Amino acid sequence: MIEVRKLVKNYGDVKAVRDISFKVQNGEILGFLGPNGAGKTTTLKVITGYLSPTSGNVFVDDMNVIEDSMEIRKMIGYLPEMNPLYHDMEVYDFLEFVAHAREIDKSRFKSRLGEVIELCGLKGVVHKNINELSKGYCQRVGLAQAIIHDPKILILDEPTSGLDPNQIVEIRGLIKNLGKAKTVIISSHILQEIQATADRMIIINRGEIAANGTIDELMSDFKGKTRLKLELKNADTESLKKVQSFNDGVLLSEYSEKDGVMTAVLEYPNSLDPRQDIFTHAVKNKWVILEMSRHKTSLEDIFRNLTIEGETTNAK
């Protein structure tokens, strides 16, 4: 089991990860989802021992990364972001080096190499130089080095980035296959990727966990919720909150005001329908309703909602 406990990581003044905690059970595939700059890579770098936590710790079984980094590294297969490889090496020499580093002896290397070539589809490129390989093949080599020692834990940082759609489907299949027997953490900023591979997902945004659960759990947490967009003239939020149904569980999730027009988004369970209340209230207060539109949430919206602030801060 992997447990990240109260992890904080700063780069100088940049707070990349702010106090996150979560657990990954043995045999589980965890999807680590978040927009660019959310802190996914940073978290993974701490788990794999490349960086030390600013505070907090990561536990693997009864060991932790501060004291037992070496032992933990032995249990992990890691595909870093950008997939750094020694481009002046032959695929064979590279995998042999990793195998030695992973305590695989000569006799076992031969059979293990065969298995990995089969699994990752490396047939025909074994004796090529890595710098001659296409991006997709490089990614396969990266995956091959991560699994060559059949690690208990597999950590993959954006394993399909830069691949074409066919390769993506293939690599996802491979990951799902590998995940049957391993604990896997796979990071991505693409929801579909996580949906296609993971048992459970953690959505991380600006260094904090925004949601944690199985895809079904997240859906039902948010399902049954409706978003209602309003554009009102002459209205103010204080008065809006006096609408009767606000007592029953309608939430004002966003609002802004411009040129005397208030834009507000309400969120409420599907069982409610505050539209009539709003209308009567508007009439009573002499508001003008410019727009009132309703829409149900999908997982896509959940992700967008949870991470929207991250997107805007990164865009500037």
Partner 1 sequence: MRNNFKILYRKEVQSFFNSPVAYITLVVFLLINAWFFTSTFFLTNESDLRTLFTVAPIVFIFFIPAITMGLIAKEKNTGTLEFITTLPFSDGEIVIAKFLAALTLVATALLFTTVHFFTLLIVGNNIDMGALISGYLGLLLVGAAYTAIGTFASSVTDNQITAFIISFSIIFVLFILDKILVFVPGFLSSFLQYLSIDYHLSNISRGVIDSRNLVYLGSIILFFLLMSIRILEMRKWR
Which one of partner 1, ligand ATP, Mg ion, none is in contact with 189 (Cβ closer than 5 to 8 A by kind)?
ligand ATP
CA distance 204 to 41: 11
Give the nearer residue to Mg ion in terms of CB position, either 9 or 225.
Answer: 9
**Ranges of H-type helices in the chain:** 40-47, 69-75, 91-101, 106-120, 135-147, 165-178, 191-197, 215-222, 237-240, 275-285, 299-315
Shorter beta-carbon distance to ligand ATP: residue 207 or 274: 207
Q: Which two tokens stand for residue 158?
A: 């954006």
Size of the site for partner 1 (CB under 8 A): 29
- The minimum distance between CB 39 and ligand ATP, in angstroms, equals 4
Q: Rounded to whole angstroms, what are the CA distances from 115 to 127, 144, 220?
A: 16, 10, 41
Q: Smallest distance, Å, CB 181 to partner 1?
A: 21
Shortest gap between Cβ of 40 and Mg ion (angstroms)?
Answer: 5
Assigned token pair, 63: 């060991």
Figure out which of the listed residues 6, 11, 26, 36 binds partner 1, where binding follows CB under 8 A: 11
Which of 236, 239, 237, 232 minimizes the C-alpha distance to 253?
A: 237
Q: How far is the CB of 54 from ligand ATP (least distance, A)?
A: 12
Q: Pick between residue 83 and residue 167 the one whose CB is nearest to partner 1.
A: 83
Residue 37: name its binding partner from Mg ion, partner 1, ligand ATP, none (Cβ under 5 to 8 Å by kind).
Answer: ligand ATP
Task: Select 153 or 264, whichever has its Cβ closest to partner 1.
Answer: 153
Provide the binding-site residues for ligand ATP, judged by CB under 6 A. 11, 14, 16, 34, 36-42, 81, 189
Q: What angle do CA 60, 188, 68 make, to 5 degrees?
A: 20
* Residue 188 engages Mg ion in binding (rule: CB under 5 A): no
Query: Does the CA dihedral 215-2-205-159 come out positive or negative?
Result: negative
The yes or no reply on residue 93 touching partner 1 (CB under 8 A) is yes
Print the binding letters for residues 3-42 with Mg ion: x by CB under 5 A, - otherwise: -------------------------------------xx-
Name the binder of 21 from ligand ATP, partner 1, Mg ion, none, CB < 5-8 A by kind: none
Q: Measured from the CB of residue 268, what is the shortest distance to ligand ATP in angstroms?
A: 32
- Residue 223 interface partner, choices Mg ion, partner 1, ligand ATP, none, CB cut-off 5-8 Å depending on type: none
The 10 Å CB-count burial string (b at 16+, else e) for 245-276 is: bbeeebeeeebeeeeeebebbbbbeeebebee
Radius of gyration of the chain (CA): 24
Two tokens, residue 94: 């590279």
Which two tokens mark 130?
Answer: 């890595």
DSSP state of 89: S
Long-range contact pairs involving 168-171 (C-beta distance under 8 Å, separation at least 24): 168/193, 170/121, 171/139, 171/140, 171/143
86 vs 312, beta carbon nearer partner 1: 86
Sites of contact with partner 1 (CB under 8 A): 11-12, 45, 48-52, 70, 73-74, 76, 78, 80, 82, 84-89, 93, 97-98, 100-103, 145
